[in-house]
Amino acid sequence: MSRDQRTADFEPERGRLTRLAYRMLGSLNEAEDVVQDAWIRWARVEESVDVPAAYLTRIVSRLCLDRLKSARARREAYIGPWLPDPLLTPADPKEIFADDVTVTLMLAMERLSPLERAAFLLHDVFDVPLKDVAATLGREPAAIRQLASRARRNVRSERVRYTLESAEADRIARAFFNASRAGDATALANMLAADVQIHTDGGGKVRALRNVICGLDHVLKLFQGVRRKDLPPPVLLRTAIIDGLPGYVARYPDGSVGTTALDLQDGRIRSIYIVRNPDKLKHIGEAC
C-alpha cells in the first residue's frame, strides 16, 4: 500500500489516538510522541489492513503500556503532587478532548494497574468492543471483562456526577477566583466542602505546595495567609473547562501562567487542582 494511502487512513484517526494516549499517560507531550511513533510503525506496514482504526488503536495502546512502566517510576520521584497536563475543552465539542474524563478520574486511574487502566479506557470510555480490547491487550475476553470490571469498581465514585452549563461553570470559577485572591474566608467557606483538598503541581520548577492540603480549616488559613503577605495578586486571563471541570487560567506576578480546576460534589468544591509546572503549560498560552 502506498504512503499516500497510509496517510489518508491515519490522519482521520490522529485526534482520537492522541486523546487515547493522553488519557492513558496524562501527558500531552508523551501522547503526541506515542502517536508519532505509531505513525512510523503504520507507515512500515506492508500488508493490507481491513480496519485501520482498530489496528492503530492496538499500536497506540501497546506503546502506552510500555511507557506506563517508566512513567510510574518517574512519578514516584516527582517533586510534590503530580497532576495530568491541563487541557482546556475546545470551543467545538467534537474536537479531540471532548469526553467525560475529568482530572479527578484520571488521578483515580493512577491507582489501577496499566492493564486495568487500558481495559477501562478502551472499553468504558472509547467504546471498543470487548473482543477487540482482548486482541489489543493480548488477553482472553473473560480476563479483559474482569480487568474492566475491577477498574470500574475502583474508580466508580470519581465518574462524572453532574453536568454544568457553561454560564454556571463560568460563575463558579469567577466566584472562587475572586474569593481566593481576596482571602475572603466567609465566601470561601460557603463554597468549599468540609473535606476539601488542594493539589498543586509545580514539578519543582516554580514555588508550589509540596503536599496536598486537606480540610476546610487548613485551606482557609492558606488563602488568608497568602492575602496577609500582601503579595501582588494573580490576574484572571479566562475561565475554562479544564479536563471536564470548571476552572480558570491566571497569570501570576512572576509572569508565569497557571491553571486551576474545581471538582464539585453536592454543590460544593471538593478538590482544587492547580498546575504551575511550566513544562505542562506550554500549550496553554496559545489558548488565552
Residue 158 lies in a domain: no
Torsion 78-84-88-90 (CA) sign: positive
Same domain? 173 vs 72: no
Q: Please give the distance of CA 270 from its chain centroid, rounded to a whole number.
A: 17
Residue 86 lies in a domain: no
Whether residue 270 lies inside any domain: the answer is: yes
Q: Domain end: 77, 109, 132, which one? A: 77
Number of domains in the chain: 2
Q: Considering 28, 61, 77, which residue would you say is the last residue of a domain?
A: 77
Residues 209/53, Cβ–Cβ less than 8 Å: no
> Do residues 223 and 188 make contact, with C-beta atoms less than 8 angstroms apart?
yes
pLDDT at 82 over 90: yes
Do 281 and 257 touch, CB atoms closer than 8 A?
A: yes
pLDDT digits (tens, 9 = 90+) for 167-179: 899 999 999 999 9
For 244-262, write each residue's pLDDT tens digit: 899 999 998 888 899 999 9
Residue 240: give its domain's CATH number.
Answer: 3.10.450.50
**Candidate from 77-91, 193-207, 213-227, 234-248 with smallest mean pLDDT:** 77-91
Establish if 114 belongs to a structural domain.
no
**Which residues form the domain of 205?**
166-287
Please tell me the predicted confidence (pLDDT) of residue 93: 44
- Is 24 part of a structural domain of the chain? yes
In a domain, 251, yes or no: yes
- Would you say 87 and 97 are in contact if contact means Cβ atoms under 8 Å apart? yes
pLDDT exceeds 80 at position 157: no
Task: Report d(CA 264, CA 262) in Å as an integer.
Answer: 6
Mean pLDDT, residues 1-17 taken together: 86
Asked if residue 154 belongs to a domain, the reply is no
pTM for the model: 0.88
pLDDT at residue number 47:
84
Residue where a domain terminates, one of 56, 77, 98:
77
Tell whether 10 is covered by a domain.
Answer: yes
